[in-house]
Amino acid sequence: MATYRHRMVEGAIKDFPAIKKDYDGYKLMLDAKALSCGCLWDEPVDGGGAVTAGDRYLERYNDPVMRKLKSLMSGIYEPYCELEGRERRILALRYWRDMEVSEISRELGFSESNVYRCISGALRRLYRPLLSVQSLLEDWRAGKLK
C-alpha cells in the first residue's frame, strides 16, 4: 500500500514531463518575444527606450513565471539525478513509459520484488528534496504559476 509520501513523490515524477514541456514552451515564447520586439539595430521602433534585442533576450531570465518553472523543474530533476542508475531507470520506465512492474522486471532481468523495493526506496529518498517544491507543484497543477 502506497503511503501519502510515496503518492506525493509519484505525482511529482509523473508530472515532470509536462512541467518540462511547459518550461520549454514558455522559454520559446519569451525568446520569440525578446527577438521580435523592436529592432535589432537599437532603434526604438516599438516606442520604448533604446534596448537591444540581446538585452531583452537576457531579461527573459528575470521573468517570475520562468523562474518558478525553472525552480520546479530543477527541484524535481536534480534529486532524481542523484539516485542510483538502476533506480532512475526503473522510475523512468514505471512513471514516464507507464510500464507495469512485471514488464520492468522482464526488461531489466530483476525479480518483481526487487523492482518494488527499488521503487519504494527511490520514492523514500526523493520525498524530502521534493518537499521544497511542493507548493510550486501545487500552484502549477492549479494553473496559478502565471
CATH of residue 118: 1.20.140
**Whether the predicted pLDDT of 37 surpasses 50:** yes
- Would residue 145 count as lying in a domain? no
- Would residue 146 count as lying in a domain? no
- Would residue 71 count as lying in a domain? yes
Integer Cα distance of 111 and 61 in angstroms:
46
- Would residue 136 count as lying in a domain? yes
Q: What letter does residue 96 receive in the DSSP assignment? A: I
Question: Model pTM?
Answer: 0.81
Coil, strand or helix: which one is 62? helix
- Would residue 76 count as lying in a domain? yes
Q: Which amino acid is at 48?
A: G
- Would residue 38 count as lying in a domain? yes
In the predicted model, what is the mean pLDDT of residues 3-15? 93
Q: How many domains does the chain have?
A: 1
**Whether the predicted pLDDT of 44 surpasses 70:** no
pLDDT-based confidence at 102, cuts 50/70/90?
Answer: very high
In the predicted model, what is the mean pLDDT of residues 64-81? 94
Look-up: residue for cell 511542493? 134
Residue 143 backbone zone (phi > 0: left; psi -120 to 50: alpha; other: beta) = left
- Would residue 102 count as lying in a domain? yes
> In which domain, by residue range, is 110 found?
4-140
pLDDT-based confidence at 76, cuts 50/70/90?
Answer: very high
- Would residue 28 count as lying in a domain? yes
C-alpha distances in angstroms, 78 versus 70, 71, 92, 121, 133?
A: 11, 10, 14, 17, 12
Burial letters for 99-110: b for 16+ Cβ neighbours within 10 Å, e otherwise? bebeebbeeeeb
